[in-house]
Chain A
Amino acid sequence: MTNEELKALTANQTVDARGTACPGPLLAAKKAMGEIESGEIMEILSSDEGTKHDIPKWCEKMEHEFLGIVEEDSYSRLFLRKA
């Protein structure tokens, strides 16, 4: 997805994991995943550099669809669709 498409998405669930370090964002995402339905979109906010590599790997394993990353000033927004 392009940056504009990602920005236009409305997430069903937003997980704010800014400030936490590895494996904080991953654990927060895993926890919040139980609260949304299949096909719904989750947005993860993270200021941890490693998360940008970790979440796509996690999606691959869990068969969620990783949609992309939008970079903000001091953090990233990661989008994914629940399998």
Chain B
Amino acid sequence: MVDFTLSCEFREYKKLTFVYSKSTTMNEEFEKQFLELQKKVGKIEKGTKDQLTMVVFSGDLDKQIAAMIISTGAAAFDMKVKLFFTFWATAALRDPKKKVGGKNFLGKMFGMMLPKGAGKLKLSKMHMMGMGASMIKGLMKKKKVASLPEMFKTAGELGVEINVCEMSMDLMGFKPEELIDYPHMKICGVATFLADAAESKVQMFI
């Protein structure tokens, strides 16, 4: 009799430890899955920041205007805006009032041939030796659309960040000292753009 109850209790104990061990393994499994899920959600959240990242590649007046209207609009939507100015676009950031010396021959040539600042950009179509560009500027004034230099000023006030491609600057012989005084400007590389773009909801190329 005693033997029987003992064996019964033993069996009960075995059952319990089995259930217990099963529940701990289940807990462990659950925990593992939970951590994995948490990691994934973190990644998704990071990838959907309310942010606009734009490559501004073109140095054409019309395309720059489009880029700046979209940027300032997005900033009004409380989006974080990060612009990556590269290649021909960097010429738009030159300050015509600033003069820098110490450039080599090619740097000087590029400096002379490329537009000196946002006020000197060409139109992508119908430029007609500058006639088209002045006509557009006249029309913009008449229709009370802000001029490109004004848009840069507004963008600065709204906290739009401008990241300038270091390689383009170097290639065209531009120096940081000849760029406009913009409150949120830094010179950086492609990695900065990629990191910014990866966490943005909206990415564009103009």
Which residues does A use to contact B, with CB under 8 Å? Answer: 19-24, 26-27, 29-30, 58, 61-62
Contact of A62 among B77, B143, B144 (CB under 8 A): B77
B154 within 8 A of A: yes
B144 touches A22 (CB 8 A): no
Which residues does B use to contact A, with CB under 8 Å? Answer: 69, 72-73, 75-78, 143-146, 154, 158
Q: Within 8 Å CB of B69, what residues of A? A: 22-23
> At the interface, is chain A mostly helix, strand, loop or mixed?
helix
Contact of A30 among B76, B143, B145, B146 (CB under 8 A): B76
A24 touches B144 (CB 8 A): yes
B77 touches A23 (CB 8 A): no
B76 touches A58 (CB 8 A): yes
Q: Of all chain B residues, which has the CB nearest A57?
A: B77
Whether A62 contacts B78 in the complex (CB less than 8 A), given A21-B143, A24-B144, A27-B154, comes out as yes
B76 touches A23 (CB 8 A): yes
A58 touches B77 (CB 8 A): yes
